[in-house]
Amino acid sequence: MQGLAGPLAAPTSGYPPTREVIDLTLDDKDSMDVDEVISVPHPTPQRSTQTNGLSPLVEKEPQSDRPTFVSTLAHRAQSLSPQKQKLNALEQAGFNVSKHSDSSSMLYHHSPYDSGDNERSYRVVSTTIPQKRKSQSTEQSDLGDTNDEDSSFRLLQPNGVGSSSEGPSRPSEKALGKKPMVIPRTPSPPPQLRPRDSVSVVIPSPSAAQREQIMTALKSEFKGLDERYFPTGLEEKAKAKRRAYPTTTTTSHVNKKVVSFGVAMPTVKEPGLRKPNASLSLQRSVFPDASSSKSVTAEPETQASTAKFLRKKLRKKLKRIPGGHEMEFDIDDEKLAALSANFSFVGDYRLGPGVTPVDNAFLTGCDCGSVCDPNSCHCLIQEEESDRFIVAYERLPSGKVVVRRDFLNRKAMISECSDRCQCAKNDCWNHVVQRGRQVRLEVFDTGERGLGLRCPQPLITGQFIDCYYGEVITQSDADARESANEGKPSYLFNLDWLLIGNGPHAYEEGYVIDGQKFGAATRFINHSCNPNCKIIPVSVNNLSDERLYYLAFFAIRDIPANTELTFDYHPNWEESKKVDPNAVKCLCGEEKCRGQLWPNSRKKERQ
Ligand SMILES: C[S@@+](CC[C@H](N)C(=O)[O-])C[C@H]1O[C@@H](n2cnc3c(N)ncnc32)[C@H](O)[C@@H]1O
């Protein structure tokens, strides 16, 4: 209970104070049974002239500027029946009660106690606020809104005196030489200090013992939960100590190096060599120091369930792309966790900002019929200085369509039929890459060279494996990513096959594929100086778009099942070239290993 507050009208001169304004506002208590005696001076009794047709003692809210002191104790409530009861009680006690238009309830009543000649006490008998209304009441109080208009009832105490600070001062009981009247009262909570100013709720943190209890319960319920992946107190503290979290809310950078999902990769201390020209070769990839990764020491049972959980998560991701679910992961939990957390498989390009494919209106197609004629299909690329077409594919007696052996030795592009062609996709031999991956693949751990890729089934020469998918970005975005990823793995691949030789600006115009966050299984194919696969650029839009084509992997010899798939990261390598001491070291282990992977930077190589 806030007790008395007197924001209402102060008496104006010329009128004797006849009534008292008492504004009782409610505090935060849900319900109160408060017996509070309010003693106010009681000058000469005087009858009200405004009776409002109810009683000479009770008036409606003052209608005129006549100084009136109204006891305002109004608050709304939900039900009407308690009002009625209280109204009755008030009326029986000699009050007359007027109900205001917006009133919906009454929550209090006063009992007048005649305590002496010049003094009258009011006793708040009971106040009960339903929980729902409480907040409104508090809100109102917080806003300092004590407007009468919102009050349900106003009790006009006859012959009361003003209590406003502007009105005649109220002599204290002491000044009047009176003893305070003692009334038996129900014990009530002591009035709080300005409870309306602040309301705070304290939710205690669980103690260390409670936290342990929670974790034990969680672990028994979800077997996969592990301190490393679902860190609790200690882990969090350790991370905070290592500054793994931003110190302010405005800092968005988190030092991921210290977050326990690092992948153990081979240490690559030196940056790579520069690539001589911008052809189809993977640019640069440097993995973080393996020593920065944490070792796995989880219980075997936890480990197994974690792996199960992560594999399930990855498989779910893979199911979203065509043929994506045909993948296995023969890698440990930590690498599995890193993969599922930081990488998404995609079944096509994701075009980034500034990458605009050529409008479909420019797409052309052949009219060969359901199966294309290799001698006349206009989708095929013509041989230079010849009328003949370059035919890259052949159908084997087994029905498989593969790249012809002679084509595998060439440095040429393949042009498949497009959506505009009349041939049937499933029957025409010139639809290979666009039909998508048809083989199973497995990501496995090669050790020093990081993750690698293999096929659990044998592959034949010329067989299509998959494309190098990822985000397609502009050169400037690729430069920015490369700079930001200095010293970290980079999976940038230039799409400049058709632009080579078109002048110094050709490079700028070409797009770049970034397979770091989004990519296909081919993103795990490592380099070998004696590879078993190669990348061939394939257009499926009849070369109408020079900047968007696919980088397709084909087997260049028969590959036994479970053999690691590799390709040459640097196909334009010239034997005469010296090994750059700063280049990334090649660990392919081939007899004729060059000793280095690729040039160090895409940007530098252009200069
Ligand atoms: C496109 S990624 C290949 C997949 C990668 N191993 C992984 O774990 O994601 C290229 C990176 O693999 C590593 N790598 C590939 N071939 C390698 C080789 N022959 N010797 C050493 N490292 C190799 C290098 O770190 C290179 O930056």
Please tell me whether residues 11 and 59 are part of one structural domain.
yes
Cα–Cα distance measured from residue 161 to residue 68, given in angstroms and rounded to the nearest whole number: 9
- Which atom belonging to ligand 1 lies closest to the Cα atom of 284? 27
Tell me, in angstroms, the distance from the centre of ligand 1 to residue 436's CA: 24
Query: Residue 201 contacts by C-beta under 8 Å, 6 or more apart in sequence?
Result: none
Tell me, in angstroms, the distance from the centre of ligand 1 to residue 449's CA: 5
Please tell me whether residues 51 and 120 are part of one structural domain.
yes
Residue 228: the pLDDT is 57
Please tell me whether residues 493 and 446 are part of one structural domain.
yes
Please tell me whether residues 297 and 352 are part of one structural domain.
yes
Residue 420: the pLDDT is 87
Residue 410 counted as domain residue: no
Residue 158: the pLDDT is 33
Shortest CA distance to 596 belongs to which of 577, 606, 565?
A: 577
The CATH code of the domain that includes 351 is 2.170.270.10
Instruction: Give the 3-state secondary structure of residue 356.
Output: coil
Tell me, in angstroms, the distance from the centre of ligand 1 to residue 562's CA: 18
Q: Which residue, of 155, 187, 221, is where some domain finishes?
A: 155
Residue 184 counted as domain residue: no
Tell me, in angstroms, the distance from the centre of ligand 1 to residue 526's CA: 5
Which range of residues forms the domain containing residue 216? 210-258
Ligand 1 pocket test, pick from 289, 343, 444, 449 with the greatest ligand atom count within 8 Å of Cβ, gives 449
Ligand 1 pocket test, pick from 527, 587, 592 with the greatest ligand atom count within 8 Å of Cβ, gives 527
Please tell me whether residues 144 and 222 are part of one structural domain.
no
Residue 203 counted as domain residue: no
* Beta strand pairing call for 441-445 and 327-330: parallel
Q: Are the CB atoms for 590 and 529 separated by under 8 Å?
A: yes
Residue 64 counted as domain residue: yes
Number of domains in the chain: 3
- DSSP calls for 174-212: TTTTPPPPP------PPPPS-TTT------PPPPHHHHH
Q: Which residue, of 155, 186, 219, is where some domain finishes?
A: 155
- Strand order, beta sheet including 71-72: 4-5, 22-24, 71-72, 153-155, 98-99
Residue 110 counted as domain residue: yes
Signed CA dihedral, 480, 481, 485, 486: sign only: negative
The parts of the chain modelled with pLDDT lower than 50 are 1-80, 99-171, 173, 251, 258-298, 603, 607
Shortest CA distance to 472 belongs to which of 561, 551, 417, 577?
A: 551
Quick one: CA torsion of 401, 404, 408, 413, rounded to 10 degrees?
-70
Please tell me whether residues 354 and 478 are part of one structural domain.
yes
Residue 452: the pLDDT is 95
The ipTM (two decimal places) reads 0.99
Residue 395 counted as domain residue: no
- DSSP calls for 220-250: HH-TT--TTTS--HHHHHHHHHTT-S-SSTT
Tell me, in angstroms, the distance from the centre of ligand 1 to residue 60's CA: 88
Please tell me whether residues 446 and 339 are part of one structural domain.
yes
Query: Which residues' Cβ are closer than 6 Å to ligand 1?
Result: 268, 282, 285-287, 449-452, 489, 491, 523-524, 526-527, 586-588, 597
- Which atom belonging to ligand 1 lies closest to the Cα atom of 586? 20
Please tell me whether residues 25 and 111 are part of one structural domain.
yes
Task: Please state the φ and ψ torsions of residue 600, each to the nearest 5 degrees.
Answer: -75, -40
Cα–Cα distance measured from residue 24 to residue 38, given in angstroms and rounded to the nearest whole number: 11
Helix (H) or strand (E) holding 508: helix 506-509
Please tell me whether residues 253 and 296 are part of one structural domain.
no
pLDDT digits (tens, 9 = 90+) for 335-354: 888 888 888 888 899 999 99
Please tell me whether residues 478 and 355 are part of one structural domain.
yes
Query: What are the catalytic residues?
Result: 468, 569
Please tell me whether residues 536 and 466 are part of one structural domain.
yes
Q: Are the CB atoms for 305 and 433 separated by under 8 Å?
A: no
Cα–Cα distance measured from residue 16 to residue 13, given in angstroms and rounded to the nearest whole number: 8
Q: Which residue, of 155, 170, 202, is where some domain finishes?
A: 155
User: And the tokens for 118?
Assistant: 């010049």
Residue 583 counted as domain residue: yes
- Which atom belonging to ligand 1 lies closest to the Cα atom of 589? 19
Please tell me whether residues 296 and 251 are part of one structural domain.
no
Residue 384 counted as domain residue: no
